[in-house]
Structure 1
Amino acid sequence: MFAPAMKVYTTQPFQIIYSLLEHEYLGYLFESFVIQVNSKKQLTLQHQNISAKNADEFSARLDETDFQLIKLIDQIQQEAVFKKFAVKKGTLADFFLKTYDPVKGDKLLQENILHYVQTRMAKILTLLQNKMTFIMGKDGEPTWKRIESATEKATVLFHFVRNPDNTHYFPTIKYQGERIDFQYKDAVLVCHEPAWLLLNDTLYSFEKEVDGKKLQPFLNKRFIVVPRNVEDSYYRKFVAPLVEQFDVYARGFLIKSERYTPQPQIVFSELAVAETSVALFTAGGEMLEEEEIVQPSGADKMVFQLNFQYGTYNLPMQDAKKMSVSVEKTSDSYIFHRVHRDLEQERHFVRELASRGLEIRNGKAVLDKASAFSWLNQYAGALEELGFSLKQNQSDKNYFIGETSVNVGINENNDWFDIYGTVRFGPYEIPFIKLRNHILTKRREYKLPNGQIAIIPEEWFTQYLELFAFAEGEDDELKLRKHHLALVSDLQNGNLATVTMTRKLEKLREFETVEDKPLPEGFKGELRPYQKAGYNWLHFVQDYHFGGCLADDMGLGKTVQTLAMLQHRKENGAQSASLLVMPTSLIYNWLAEAQKFTPHLRILVYTGTYRTKNVSQFKHYDVVLTSYGIVRLDSELLQKYYFDYIILDESQAIKNPNSNTSEAIRELKSKHRLILTGTPVENSIMDLWSQMSFINPGLLGTQAFFKKEFLKPIEKLKDEHKTKRLHALIKPFILRRHKSQVARELPEKIEQITYCKMTEEQEHAYEETKSFYRNKILKTIEEQGAAKSQFMLLQGLMKLRQIANHPRMADPSYEAESGKLGEVMRLTKTVVSKGHKVLIFSQFVKHLDIVRTSLDERKIKYAYLDGSTKDRQAQVNTFQNDPNLPVFLISLKAGGVGLNLTAADYVFILDPWWNPAVEAQAVDRAHRIGQQNTVFTYKFITKNSVEEKILALQDKKLQLVSDLISTDEAVIKNLTKEDIESLLS
């Protein structure tokens, strides 16, 4: 019995050795050991295993090869194999017993393990040259028998002797030119992939890396007999590959060596069915994923197969071996044609293709169809000069390969651009318009008159997509509207079209500044410089018959710029009235502004239940004011009138292109179109499509086209190129100035009154309350004098002011809407969406509570301050410093003085104070030292209410009020009977 392993001391001499053993399941393996060496330099029985875990202890006598060997040997030990391949929990013994069970064993797993072990054994055997190597004894002794590695590689010659009845097959082995007798000599193959033969204590490897399975049968057998009835199959499937790879001696049939100059051939076909994944690579050399390879018939990729013609033999490049063998059966025997391949010349042709952008891997390349034919059209001629032949797979469509060109012309013609052009595919000329549906639907295949399929170049889909998408007309006519001038210019600048246009339009393309226009004589007031520029711009788009979008920030005066332009139309002989469409709440604001700046404009307010539904009346007016709701209701009637201008204020009202309102608006007829909005895009850029399509129909193509080409790329994919492209298309028709851009031209404070129309329910509540108090107060004045009515008057005015704000302030059971609250929320949303901050003042805490509820519903954050607020400064600091808190609700009495709120640049005063000085103090919370921006103040006044009367009294008694009056009671004491009647009228 051999003694157990003992510890080897590093302080004494030792030797690393490698010991070959046979494992029950894994075949031949090596283990590594260190052996203690005695004073006579002999190996002793004292030894221990060495692995990566303890190798460093013995590093003094190990070289780099030893470390490599130890690492590889560790990987093939049964514990390492178990750890790598065991999926389920269990013991090592169970794993091997189940895996290698003769009946139920896992054959696939056995193959995988065998390949894993064999590849590492091959590396180990190669590294063992000049290393001390042994066969392990049956008792585990690592140094039982010394073996050596042959210094040179052996050769194998395979013999085939064809007899009348059969073929004998056997190999012979030579080493250093001498034949080795290996049969029946207890030789073993310690590795099969490739073969390593242990014979007479020597390890042999072989030239041409012979597979060990080809030698294994002959270790104990002289030859194999192949019966005549399976001869043909055997010769083709087994003998031919052997002839390609190894030295073969034949008797009874002929092996003929042949040499030719290779001629390269490219065969292209659709990637229509599953192809083996190992053979398919992209043009960039990356392997295709499985889902990219398995594609249905008509797939949008092409496969290029590189073959080489050697004489009459067509050999695929992927087989790139030194020899290619084909079998020819003669009348009484076989001829094996052994073609010598010129691999260097083949690689030269592969490099030629690579230099032209086609990377061949494993004999193939895969390109998408458009790129494939673009490549063919570009290089076909040059490749043929280099000796390449190009062929199509006969089972595929007959594709056109040849010169492809396009020639497009664009001529200005009255209100349109006429588009004409031809496309050339080789000898065929096709009208440009014939490609329209193909370009729009991205169909690349175009059928030529001779039945061939031409592939439309990929770049045309980008270059001419917008042209076809925006063009109108059918058959042979294709037209673009004038507002697509930017697109026409882009085509011309990119040498994609030849353009002819009038001098006027050429001038438009070259313009740098908009022409200055004088203000109309009937305009009362002055325009700030940026407003005058806006007025000039409105003339600019009008002169060229373009629709325009005036998209200045809220508060910059879109109304006054538009009114100046409408006054100019009146003075210059406009043939019909202009229609101004807006939210109902804005009608009175427009009316008030028109009376102030353009008092000579004849204005019809076309609203209300009792409006006269007859368009003939419009001829007596310059401007018709109406609401979106009325247009929707009176759509058919309004379509009968041809307006000079149709102008949409707050044009985001038509942001939904499929709404009834949008559809009704688009049906109206006019000479000019204009939209006004501070927020052209609220939710999605589809808002923009709807509005721009109203002012310039067709500018952005159809809804479907816009969604596909702009909406999805911009909003979902964040495509910067598409964003810039969209901006370029709409830029000529939008004038947008932010407050920050024109700050120097603005006064420090801008005040504006916003009139709010009561809802029907609100109006009913107001009129009922007004009648009650009016009768009661006037009767008291008549009977007891004005002094006795003061308390009742205060009480009545308070109720009316509350109802003018929101009836719920006077009656908690009121459930309907308030016109003022709707307008306040609309403007708050607009201001906040643009990143501004706003102070909202009311003298009624109840009113602030209602506004709070509305802000909560809209998820708009706010700070709050009234008389009961404990930590006022904390609310101020939060508002001043938090960029995500845009609104501050403040009770006028609690916050009118003593606060510094310079973070805000908008102030909303929800209800008029008797004394304007108190309002001014509120505005000064924002407009004070430290404020960098112009402050915009909006006073919300409910139309046809006591609030309007209070404004009128402020103007009438301004001096008295500002000097003396600070309370409601003080104001009441100074009211005459006529004043009271006016307030309650």
Structure 2
Amino acid sequence: MWDELVELGVVAEQSERWSRDVRELLDVDGAAPAPSPAGLAAQLRPYQLQGYQWLSVLWDAGLGGVLADDMGLGKTLQALALVCRAKAAGELTAPMLVVAPTSVVSNWAREAERFAPGLAVRVVTATGRKLGMPLAEMVDGADLVVTSYTLLRLGEEDYLALPWSGLVLDEAQFVKNHQAKTYAAARRLPARFKLAITGTPVENNLMDLWAMLSIVAPGLFPSPQRFTEHYRIPIEKAGDPEVLAALRRRIRPLMRRRTKEQVAAELPPKQEQVLEVVLNPRHRKIYDTHLQRERRKVLGLVDDLQQHRFTIFRSLTLLRQLALDASLVDDEYAGVRSSKADAFLEHLQEVVAEGHRALVFSSFTGFLGTVRAQLDAAGLPYAYLDGSTRDRQQRIEEFRDGRAPVFLISLKAGGFGLNLTEADYVYVLDPWWNPAAEAQAVDRAHRIGQDKTVMVYRLVAADTIEQKVVALQARKRDLFARVLDDDSGALSGQLTADDIRGLFT
């Protein structure tokens, strides 16, 4: 896919334009900060105003960027403020296109209606063929068009054929794979201004960050191979402090990141704790038996990881399921109690009895089924959400209005796009390889609007693969912190001309 973009001239043309436009930022120190825009029905917090002003500088220069504020700090509002400013200035000569995960599309429509009622918004919910109407007709007269990553990929040619004032990629980790069609569609879309919005610009490795920057700032690091050689390998493998400092210096003008600790002093604390669960004897014996078998299999294949990746991943997934509930792997174990489900229920009953409300996440819908059966038996009301849930909003309202004090959510379906500050307890029933996915889930409750201390419990089965997953998370979390969350606050301060000059060194 990358070779195709190079061959078509997309990479060279975008890189040249980016290098030309970035020089306009060199007199940034003399620019007056943009006032809060007309048409925005919200009072921006000081850090949101600074974020909007930074976006305005980029917009005026025709440059893109990455808004990487912590989850729950109002990134959508800052982007809407920019659209309001562009409309008030008569600069929306074509619509602004927002691309988001399917589950977040409706949230953009609600936020726009609430905070930017003067914008003409169109939500694209299906392909033009399915709706029986061309995309151009659907978006005619719109200021803001919201669609999903799936629809952008499926209808790429339709989107590429239309003019756009700008492109906003929400939850931009969805384009982290530069070899995927969704990435290519975002890269090729004709828009002078492109903005990536994400609380997790680095999920797995530094190529996630490169992919986003290559879309919004295509001339910064034009080649993935050179970025790997000059930055990724020295930082990830050797921890080279000079290369790390150089990377931070180069991305600083085009990335804005503020953490909750820096800007939301009124946000109550978040207390996190690991609850270690000891498997009962029958559960333990089943797990150990399968562990020996899968270990022999994986160790025989791991030398050729690429060739056997699927088989190895299947073995790891099997062990993760066994650590939760043996019956997820084989119905013959249906009579074996799930140690983790029992421990969770015991903890949850006490929390609910004290009047608290809880979000409960698992990456396995099968295990959520086990938990549902136990809640039903205990007479505890709950709401449930996974990828197959049709009446998503109704389930959300059941929890919000108090009819259900417990909300069971699959990590994939509810890890983003939800604002559930009614909860003050969060349970993560199984650790996922990627700490960013867990952080996204936890921050459904710990975000602006929360007025209670949020208690986070991660349940980990002792002496199982889950403890290895937690160790892997720690290494990934360390990479994220070293690149983005340095103590100097370099990615949260005001932009200077020296920062801009750093783009050329």
- TM-score bin (small chain): 0.5 to 0.7
SS in 1 for 2:218: coil
Alignment correspondent of 2:148: 627
Letter of the 2:187 counterpart: R
Alignment correspondent of 2:224: 703
* 1:672 alignment partner, one of 193, 198, 202: 193
Q: Which runs of 5+ in 2 are unaligned?
A: 1-10, 271-364, 366-375, 390-406, 418-422, 456-505
- 1:590 maps onto 2:179 in alignment: no
Alignment correspondent of 1:507: 27
Alignment correspondent of 1:558: 75
Pair 1:907–1:614, CA change in 2 (3 A): closer
Pair 1:725–1:688, CA change in 2 (3 A): same
1:517-537, Cα deviation, whole Å (9 max, x unpaired): 122221112100110111111
SS in 1 for 2:76: helix
Mapping 1:60-459, distance limit 5 Å: none
**Offset at residue 548 of structure 1 (A):** 1.3
* 2:415 alignment partner, one of 808, 813, 826: 826
**Offset at residue 599 of structure 1 (A):** 1.1
Alignment correspondent of 1:291: none
1:451-474, Cα deviation, whole Å (9 max, x unpaired): xxxxxxxxxxxxxxxxxxxx969x
Alignment correspondent of 2:122: 604
Alignment correspondent of 2:500: none
Pair 1:582–1:515, CA change in 2 (3 A): same
Letter of the 1:572 counterpart: A
- The separation in 1 between residues aligned to 2:245 and 2:268, in whole angstroms, is 35
Letter of the 2:229 counterpart: K
Alignment correspondent of 1:273: none
* 2:157 alignment partner, one of 607, 632, 636: 636
Alignment correspondent of 1:524: 41
Alignment correspondent of 2:97: 579
Pair 1:860–1:483, CA change in 2 (3 A): closer
- The separation in 2 between residues aligned to 1:718 and 1:596, in whole angstroms, is 45
Alignment correspondent of 1:358: none
Contact 2:96–2:167 (CA<8 Å) still a contact in 1? yes
* 1:541 alignment partner, one of 58, 63, 66: 58
Pair 1:561–1:925, CA change in 2 (3 A): closer
SS in 1 for 2:264: helix
Alignment correspondent of 1:618: 139
- The separation in 2 between residues aligned to 1:651 and 1:690, in whole angstroms, is 10
Contact 1:585–1:819 (CA<8 Å) still a contact in 2? no
**Offset at residue 482 of structure 1 (A):** 3.2
Query: Per residue, is there more strand in 1 or in 2?
Result: 1
- The separation in 2 between residues aligned to 1:860 and 1:472, in whole angstroms, is 33
Pair 1:707–1:613, CA change in 2 (3 A): same
**Offset at residue 839 of structure 1 (A):** 2.8
Contact 1:806–1:820 (CA<8 Å) still a contact in 2? no
- The separation in 2 between residues aligned to 1:838 and 1:595, in whole angstroms, is 28
- The separation in 2 between residues aligned to 1:926 and 1:820, in whole angstroms, is 17
Contact 1:522–1:600 (CA<8 Å) still a contact in 2? yes
- The separation in 2 between residues aligned to 1:725 and 1:620, in whole angstroms, is 44
Structure with greater Cα Rg: 1
1:379-421, Cα deviation, whole Å (9 max, x unpaired): xxxxxxxxxxxxxxxxxxxxxxxxxxxxxxxxxxxxxxxxxxx
**Offset at residue 479 of structure 1 (A):** 9.1
- The separation in 2 between residues aligned to 1:570 and 1:670, in whole angstroms, is 16
Contact 2:415–2:444 (CA<8 Å) still a contact in 1? no
- The separation in 2 between residues aligned to 1:561 and 1:640, in whole angstroms, is 28
* 2:166 alignment partner, one of 645, 651, 654: 645
Fraction of identical pairs, as percent: 32
Contact 1:563–1:594 (CA<8 Å) still a contact in 2? yes
- The separation in 2 between residues aligned to 1:660 and 1:806, in whole angstroms, is 22
**Offset at residue 637 of structure 1 (A):** 1.0
- The separation in 2 between residues aligned to 1:479 and 1:924, in whole angstroms, is 48
- Give the length in aligned residue pairs: 307
Pair 1:482–1:859, CA change in 2 (3 A): closer
Pair 1:647–1:713, CA change in 2 (3 A): same
- The separation in 2 between residues aligned to 1:711 and 1:721, in whole angstroms, is 13
Pair 1:820–1:578, CA change in 2 (3 A): farther
Letter of the 2:35 counterpart: P
Q: Which runs of 5+ in 1 are unaligned?
A: 1-470, 486-503, 751-760, 762-794, 809-817, 829-836, 842-850, 862-885, 890-903, 910-919, 928-985
Contact 1:645–1:670 (CA<8 Å) still a contact in 2? yes
Pair 1:663–1:696, CA change in 2 (3 A): same
1:950-975, Cα deviation, whole Å (9 max, x unpaired): xxxxxxxxxxxxxxxxxxxxxxxxxx
**Offset at residue 663 of structure 1 (A):** 0.9
**Offset at residue 686 of structure 1 (A):** 0.8
1:797-828, Cα deviation, whole Å (9 max, x unpaired): x99975656889xxxxxxxxx99524566349
1:250-278, Cα deviation, whole Å (9 max, x unpaired): xxxxxxxxxxxxxxxxxxxxxxxxxxxxx
Contact 1:839–1:908 (CA<8 Å) still a contact in 2? no
* 2:86 alignment partner, one of 547, 562, 569: 569
Alignment correspondent of 2:320: none
Pair 1:656–1:518, CA change in 2 (3 A): same
Contact 2:65–2:194 (CA<8 Å) still a contact in 1? yes
SS in 1 for 2:97: strand
Query: Per residue, is there more helix in 1 or in 2?
Result: 2
- The separation in 1 between residues aligned to 2:434 and 2:18, in whole angstroms, is 45
Contact 1:577–1:621 (CA<8 Å) still a contact in 2? yes
1:672-710, Cα deviation, whole Å (9 max, x unpaired): 111111111111111111100100112112111111111
Pair 1:518–1:807, CA change in 2 (3 A): closer
- The separation in 2 between residues aligned to 1:680 and 1:860, in whole angstroms, is 12
**Offset at residue 711 of structure 1 (A):** 1.3
- The separation in 1 between residues aligned to 2:18 and 2:71, in whole angstroms, is 34
Contact 1:656–1:690 (CA<8 Å) still a contact in 2? yes
Contact 1:657–1:690 (CA<8 Å) still a contact in 2? yes
Letter of the 1:575 counterpart: T
- The separation in 1 between residues aligned to 2:444 and 2:12, in whole angstroms, is 46
Alignment correspondent of 1:660: 181
C-alpha RMSD of matched pairs (Å): 4.0
Letter of the 1:598 counterpart: A
Q: Higher relative contact order at CA 8 Å, sep ≥6: structure 1 or structure 2? A: 2
* 1:723 alignment partner, one of 244, 259, 266: 244
- The separation in 2 between residues aligned to 1:678 and 1:925, in whole angstroms, is 21
Pair 1:711–1:905, CA change in 2 (3 A): closer
- The separation in 1 between residues aligned to 2:223 and 2:248, in whole angstroms, is 17
1:81-101, Cα deviation, whole Å (9 max, x unpaired): xxxxxxxxxxxxxxxxxxxxx
- The separation in 1 between residues aligned to 2:225 and 2:98, in whole angstroms, is 30
- The separation in 1 between residues aligned to 2:257 and 2:165, in whole angstroms, is 24
Alignment correspondent of 1:833: none
* 1:907 alignment partner, one of 445, 448, 451: 445
Contact 2:202–2:209 (CA<8 Å) still a contact in 1? yes
Pair 1:718–1:629, CA change in 2 (3 A): same
TM-score w.r.t. length of structure 1: 0.28
Letter of the 2:261 counterpart: S
Pair 1:825–1:599, CA change in 2 (3 A): closer
Worse-superposed segment, 734-743 or 798-807:
798-807
SS in 2 for 1:620: coil
Pair 1:641–1:709, CA change in 2 (3 A): same
1:154-209, Cα deviation, whole Å (9 max, x unpaired): xxxxxxxxxxxxxxxxxxxxxxxxxxxxxxxxxxxxxxxxxxxxxxxxxxxxxxxx
